[in-house]
Homo-oligomer: A and B are copies of this chain.
């Protein structure tokens, strides 16, 4: 319509070389994902390579996820703080593995205030280096520990292939950074925060997750151990939804974070870092969505109940609208997030599609006969069932109960889907055959090297998602090398 508009349309294709190269079913699913995110107005392409605009509906979803996690972070004794966006280039180089991991992805500020800078500044890809520089200033004695800090911030990683929410050049996240007096304490912290992430995914986002450890190949650059939560999406692929790292003393040595112990010795601190990002919004879309669009878990849904009025005559309209307003006020008073779709230029059918696409858990349809009978019709988004003739008197109880039931049903459905789509294999031949048929989680014995993992990835696109915590040691043989091992892992193709 406008010059601006068409310019940006041309740019969208160029700027967003999204990862759409899969074939067949995968490509279809990728298109479904992008269409759903755009059409449900969760996000839009930005006129900057690999960047997105998070629109109000997507941001409200992110706010609900963020607020739930922020409360857990505070309850576990952490404090929010804020560190600079721009990091001196020299800082990045202090931890060898860290710089190796991030060097290819950096955005660099070379000019400020119309002058070339003496030292380039990096737009943070993560804040370990600058935060640990400050920790070295703040930590002197064992009394200063543990230092339990969290930051909500934007970070930039120059990604080659991007996808809305799942992998964007800039994203929003929280990054926790902690320092402890002992190894045991730091290890406990890393696991405690992973448990917060599990709760966030399962209890709030209704996404069942595997918890476990990453192999060396998939480890965070600079970590000793990386723990993760991994979720299965509706296409059978895995999505890494959060990671928590035990950093040992790597960054403490690089940044000289020393403290006087109770025994009077000068010691390096033990550390962790952990983060989740706006990727979680993508996880909700891909983890629960169906052909009609989003299916949102009630606990994080920006709108839990939408009211759609149905009428023909002006007389009917007056009656129905008054009743809708009344019910809206009733639900809002009970802290139910309710919206009344009173637009007069759309049909009820259009509105049904509109809100189904947006995944609103419950829709109330109210027509003249409902008004006369003091009832409403309730439509569930998760099952698409309709419950007719719900008496107005019991409406708040009915809706509160349904919201709980939907939250549980969405979780159960995702869990059953994962269980159905998890396969055990003993040999690499079996492994390849299973993956030829489609995306699943594969449980298998593994004793291969990082190079072996690389080979499997190259040949099948599958990687080790986790060595799950709940896998007890069982005698067996590595599917690739045939060597005896008790370690079992989960392989999958992933986002």
Smallest CB-CB separation from A118: which chain B residue?
B49
**List of B residues within 8 angstroms of A258 by Cβ:** 1-2
Chain B residues with CB under 8 Å of A349's CB are none
B108 touches A4 (CB 8 A): no
A81 pairs with B108, CB closer than 8 A: no
Complex contact A85–B47 (CB within 8 A): no
**Complex Cα gap A10–B114 (Å):** 25
| A137: interface (CB < 8 Å) | yes
Contact B140 A1 (CB under 8 A): yes
Which stretch in A154-162, A391-399, A480-488 binds the other chain? A154-162
| Least distance between A342 CB and chain B CB atoms (Å) | 13
The verdict on A60 contacting B79 (CB below 8 Å), with A106-B113, A256-B4 known, is yes
> Least Cβ distance of A57 to chain B in Å?
8
Nearest CB of chain B from residue A89's CB, rounded to whole Å: 11
Closest beta carbon of chain B to A183's beta carbon, Å? 21
Interface magnitude class on chain A? 35 or more
The secondary-structure label for the interface of chain A is mixed
Is A313 in contact with chain B by the CB < 8 A criterion?
no
Bound Cα distance from A52 to B84, whole angstroms: 7
List chain B residues, Cβ under 8 A from A105.
Answer: 113
Collect the chain B residues with CB atoms within 8 Å of residue A153's CB: 154
- 8 Å CB contact of A154 from B1, B85, B158: B85
Q: A56-B79, A82-B59 are in contact. Are A133 and B88 (CB under 8 A)?
A: no
Within the complex, what minimum Cβ distance (angstroms) separates A280 from chain B? 14
Chain A, residues 3-47, CB within 8 Å of chain B (1/0): the string is: 111001000000000000000000000000000000000001011
A88: chain B residues within 8 A (beta carbon): 47-48
Q: Which residues 89-147 in A have Cβ within 8 Å of B in the complex?
A: 91, 103-114, 120-121, 123, 130, 133-134, 136-138, 140, 143
A123 to B87, CA, bound (A): 14
How far apart are the CA atoms of A55 and B52 in the complex, in Å?
30
Contact with B along A377-395 (1 / 0, CB 8 A): 0000000000000000000
B56 lies within 8 A of A81 (CB): yes
**A470 at interface, CB cutoff 8 A:** no
Enumerate chain B residues within 8 angstroms of A136, measured Cβ to Cβ: 2, 4-5, 8
Say yes or no for A83: interface residue by CB 8 A criterion. Answer: yes
Closest to A266 in B: B1
The residue from B52, B130, B345 contacting A46, defined by CB atoms under 8 A apart: B130
Docked-complex contact B80 and A133, CB < 8 angstroms: no
A113 touches B104 (CB 8 A): yes
A84 and B46 CA atoms in complex are apart in Å by 7
- Expressed in whole angstroms, the Cα–Cα distance for A1 and B55 within the complex equals 48
Q: A452-480: contact bitstring with B at CB < 8 Å (1 yes, 0 no)?
A: 00000000000000000000000000000
Interfacial chain B residues near A54, Cβ < 8 Å: 81-83
Expressed in whole angstroms, the Cα–Cα distance for A351 and B255 within the complex equals 31
Query: How far apart are the CA atoms of A202 and B229 in the complex, in Å?
Result: 45
Q: Do the beta carbons of A107 and B107 come within 8 Å of each other?
A: no
Chain B residues whose CB sits within 8 angstroms of the CB of A160 once the complex forms? 113
Are A82 and B5 in touch, CB under 8 angstroms?
no
Is A175 an interface position by the 8 A CB rule? no
Pair A112/B158 contact, Cβ less than 8 Å: yes
A44 touches B156 (CB 8 A): no
Contacts of A106 in B (CB 8 A): 111-114
A82 CB contact (under 8 Å) in B156, B172, B255: B172
B107/A108 in contact, CB under 8 A: no
Residues of B within 8 A of A2 (CB): 136, 256, 258
User: In whole angstroms, what is the CA distance A294 to B486 when docked?
Assistant: 60
Question: For the complex, what is the distance from the CA of A79 to the CA of B61, rounded to whole Å?
Answer: 12
Q: Compute how far the CA of A259 lies from the CA of B14 in the bound complex, rounded to whole angstroms.
A: 27
Query: Residues of A with Cβ closer than 8 Å to B?
Result: 1-5, 8, 44, 46-49, 51-56, 59-60, 63, 79-88, 91, 103-114, 120-121, 123, 130, 133-134, 136-138, 140, 143, 149, 153-154, 156, 158, 160, 169-170, 172, 255-256, 258, 345
Rank and list the top 6 A-B pairs by shortest CB-CB distance, nearest first.
Answer: A113-B158, A56-B79, A54-B82, A51-B84, A108-B111, A4-B136
| Pairs A–B under 8 Å by Cβ, sample size 28 | A3-B256, A4-B136, A5-B137, A5-B256, A8-B137, A46-B83, A47-B91, A48-B121, A48-B130, A51-B86, A53-B82, A56-B81, A59-B81, A63-B80, A85-B154, A85-B170, A86-B107, A86-B156, A86-B169, A86-B170, A106-B111, A106-B112, A106-B114, A107-B109, A108-B110, A112-B158, A112-B169, A143-B345
